[in-house]
Chain A
Amino acid sequence: QVQLQESGPGLVKPSETLSLTCTVSGGSINSYYWSWIRQPPGKGLEWIGYTYSSGSTNFHPSLKSRVTISTDTSKNQFSLKLYSVTTADTAVYYCARIRRESSGYRFDYWGQGTLVTVSS
């Protein structure tokens, strides 16, 4: 059973960089796509971006200029960096595995989520 676990600071100052890591266990990170999704308090889900194990990436158009996602296959991890954060970036951040098929996309495994608050 694939399991995902987010880790990283729960508090980030405005204008600084939000950094999170997702550790995958119970399966290899290789040959799959991996994604970050966030959920502001009391609001809906927002896709941030995804990466393939080889390193190719795709990001939400509104976040593309501020985000990077990278993989470390040796540690079975992938990471998120969101630059120049504001209070609007306060959210629960989830990592998930995304299955990209010609018929559509689905997120089949999710981490438990981690709350990141942007505040001075």
Chain B
Amino acid sequence: SSELTQDPAVSVALGQTVRITCQGDSLRSYYASWYQQKPGQAPVLVIYGSNNRPSGIPDRFSGSSSGSTSSLTITGAQAEDEADYYCNSRDNSANDVVFGGGTKLTVL
């Protein structure tokens, strides 16, 4: 099955812009979805499709894709954005689901 690769940790200064990436062959064919997970809580969908935000997700969250890399961008990071972020996609060769290993975002 396919794999999705994420940087284990990323940091950003308060109010600055940060990009979290997800890389994998399946992303050439399918969009990634992105999830935010805070300690002790379930993941929350923040971006899906070409660049869609579920209701209630702030517009500082956006998504983009190029080749085998998908990106989640937070423009003007807030303290409450400090969390783990996961990407997922459909597997390239089957109807399976793949998750990235997650990125821990620290807001300085």
Contact = CB atoms under 8 A, between A and B. Distances in A.
B107 interface: no
A103 B30 contact: yes
A45 interface: yes
Interface stretch (A9-17, A23-31, A105-113): A105-113
Contact of A104 (B31, B54, B86, B102): B31
Nearest to B52: A106
Interface string A38-66: 00000011110010000000101100000
Interface in B56-108: 86, 88-90, 94-102
A68 interface: no
Q: How large is the interface on A (under 10, 10 to 19, 20 to 34, 35 or more residues)?
A: 20 to 34
B97 A47 contact: yes
A101 B41 CA distance: 26
Contact of B49 (A61, A98, A104, A110): A104
Contact of B101 (A44, A98, A104): A44
A94 interface: yes
Contact of B33 (A35, A44, A61, A107): A107
A94 B31 CA distance: 23
A7 B45 CA distance: 22
Interface in A78-112: 94, 98, 100-101, 103-108, 110-112
Contacts of B90: 100, 104-105
Nearest to B45: A108
B101 A58 contact: no
Contact of B42 (A98, A101, A104, A113): A113
A22 B16 CA distance: 40
A110 B89 contact: no
Interface of B: 1, 30-33, 35, 41-45, 48-50, 54, 86, 88-90, 94-102
Given A44-B86, A100-B95, 14 more contacts: A45-B88, A45-B99, A47-B97, A60-B96, A60-B97, A100-B90, A101-B49, A103-B30, A103-B31, A104-B30, A104-B49, A105-B89, A108-B48, A112-B42
